[in-house]
Amino acid sequence: MAMLMTEPVQILIVEDEPLIAMMLEDFLDVLDKQVAGTVDSVDDALARVAQGGIDAAILDVNLRGGQKSTPVAEALAERGVPFVFATGGADDAVDERFRDRPRLQKPFTMDGVAKALGSL
């Protein structure tokens, strides 16, 4: 039986600003999505990705302490899990290998989140 690709439901949030993470959680709830986890560092995100059960992810490009979410993007790409980059900056903040991925521009809106997830 072939698996049909359905809209992602279990969404991982990688965001280091607690208020923004909470806002995204609220948006996902309204959009009938489940939060597969909310993490604020590359290490925590990689650990959560390794656990599986993630349909898609929203990755803040720049995390606390100068960390970039690129290693998380690599881990998700290896597993075939789609993701969206969340950024308030220019395209060059995103690793060139992933510049074809959908973007979610800050400040976030419900419509923006819905469109970004719908594009996966």
Task: Count CB-CB contacts under 10 A for residue 25.
Answer: 16
Closest CA to 23 of 9, 10, 38: 38
Our measurement of the distance from residue 90's CA atom to the centroid of its chain's CA atoms, rounded to an integer in Å, reads 17
Instruction: Provide the total of helices (H) and of strands (E) in the chain, helices listed first.
Output: 4, 5
Token pair for residue 97?
């290998």
pTM: 0.91
pLDDT (0 to 100) of residue 83: 97
Q: What is the identity of the amino acid at 101?
A: R
Say how far apart CA 42 and CA 73 lie, in whole Å.
10
End-to-end CA distance of the chain: 23
Enter the DSSP assignment of 89: S
Give the pLDDT confidence of 31-78 residue by residue, as tens digits.
Answer: 999 999 999 999 999 999 999 999 999 999 999 899 999 999 999 999
Which of 9-13, 42-46, 74-78, 85-89 is the least confident region? 85-89
Say how far apart CA 50 and CA 63 lie, in whole Å.
19
Cβ pair 61, 98 in contact under 8 A: no
Q: What is the mean pLDDT of residues 23-29?
A: 97
Token pair for residue 39?
């993490």
